Amino acid sequence: FLLAAAPLHFLRALAGSHRLNFGAMLAVAHTRRALQLQRQCITVVAAPALRRNFWNVSLPVLGGPGGAHVTKYHIVKPGKDGVEWDDFLIALPEREHLASFTKEVPLFIRYLKVVTDQEGRPEAFQAFMERAKSGLVVESDVYITTEELLAVMWKNGYSESERNAVQFTFPSDYKFHYPELSVLFDLAEEDTYKFCMRTRMEASHIGELSWDQVKRKGFIRDHWLTFGVGLVIFKYFPFFNYYFGVKVFGTSMWCYTMWTGLNRFIAKTCRRNEYMAAQKTAQDVMEGEDSIVSSMRRFANDAKCVEDLKSFKGDTETKIASYRSALALKMKEDLAERALKQLQAIAAFEAGMGAAMQELVVREAASAFKEKFPGDKAMQDKAFTSAIKSLSGAQVTASDCPVASHFEAAFKSLQGVDLATSKADAKGSLAERVAFAQQA
């Protein structure tokens, strides 16, 4: 929402016209307000929501670390450390008497950026941005509300679109303090300050004052000066003896002095402790509620237990039958796997035994040939004849070769022979040699 914000000429003219007679106006308003206060005091006190609470009945609206503070007009305000509440029209506070605070203004800065860009005042925005970078320090009760600003804009001829820009941008309870009005409408801060103070005074506003600035100075001196003067005066009256002057009057003045000096400290400590105890109680209550909710969640599915129990028998029987079938299949698979591994081991053993047997037979046959050939004349002649045929190029058959004939005859001699029961002889036939090697 864009605001074509022309300067508030009515603010500038009003502040200029009241510079000279501002003190006279405040004096007249002070007198009028004092007379009205006497007629309205009973009505103000009669409001039950604003009366002071003596019977431990909490005031939720005023709940806070400072508790509830009762002003001298019997109006309840939230208690704050270092703050005194008073009617601005009656107290007529100076600027340094007002309580200040740090205000965060992100919404106003965004709106001010649009306005200053449209009006060609970037240096005003930069200056305000630098001032509000760490928070805008302002007097807490020198402001006008959104409704008051809209009413003044309407009286001074601003268009509906300009008023809507303010109304739709800021909430109805937003407080425009005088530095914001000054930079927004390009006015002097002194003028906007006076206008805001006049608006608050006309509304009989009870605002915050700095206790350090408005508290009575030298109250101990005044108390004991009163005690001394009173003691001098009372001693000339009959029945005012030493006991009354020193014990009664002096003790009373001492108690009053101590209460004047320590009542705010005691009240602040008590309210702070009460607030902390209330916060601790609230935290315990919230933790207890969370524990109850957590416990209730554990029983959230109890209603399903009956339904589950009704179908428990059928589901169990079905699952038991499936379990038995699966168990039998699993045992069958395990048994088949074990048997396969055993057969594989047997096959590997037989293959190893066959290879070892073949090697043993060949080795024993060769050993028998080596022993027989040197002493056998026929075998030597047969070998010589076979060599001549081979050299002549003729074909040599297995019967012509003594080596082949010997091995063939040795292998045939093993057919049908039980090596386990055969006679073992290291120099005998091939069967006897093999039986000797196996039994050794």
Place of tokens 């300067």: 7
Q: What is the pTM of this model?
A: 0.49
Answer whether residue 14 shows pLDDT above 60. no
76 vs 143: CA distance, rounded Å? 21
CA 296 distance to own-chain centroid: 25
Tell me: pLDDT of 107 over 90. Answer: yes
CA distance 429 to 409: 11
- Long-range contact list for 117-122, CB < 8 A, 24+ apart? 118/2, 118/3, 118/4, 119/5, 119/186, 121/186
Average pLDDT, the chain: 77
pLDDT (0 to 100) of residue 125: 93
- How far apart are the C-alpha atoms of 77 and 418, rounded to whole Å? 123
Q: Which two tokens stand for residue 69?
A: 């503070």
What's the pLDDT tens digit per position in 353-379? 777 777 777 777 777 777 776 777 777
Instruction: Report, in angstroms and rounded to the nearest whole number, the Rg of the chain calculated over CA atoms.
Output: 59
Mean pLDDT of all residues in 174-202: 93
Q: Which of 121-135, 301-315, 390-404 has the highest mean pLDDT?
A: 121-135
CB burial readout 249-263, b (16+ within 10 A) else e: beeebeeebeeeeee
pLDDT at 19: 35
User: What's the pLDDT score for residue 416?
Assistant: 64
- pLDDT tens by residue, 44-65: 333 344 444 444 444 544 556 6
Q: Which of 83, 115, 82, 152 is nearest to 1 (CA)?
A: 115
Mean pLDDT of 68-77: 82
Q: Supply 97's token pair.
A: 């008497």
Q: Is the pLDDT of residue 27 over 50?
A: no
Query: Per-residue pLDDT tens for 108-161?
Result: 999 999 999 998 999 999 999 999 988 899 999 999 999 999 999 899 888 898
Q: What is the mean pLDDT of residues 255-263?
A: 87
Is the pLDDT confidence value at 175 over 90?
yes
CA 330 to chain centre: 51
Q: Which of 414, 419, 416 is nearest to 436 (CA)?
A: 419
pLDDT at 103: 93
Q: Which of 25-34, 104-113, 279-288, 325-334 has the lowest mean pLDDT?
A: 25-34
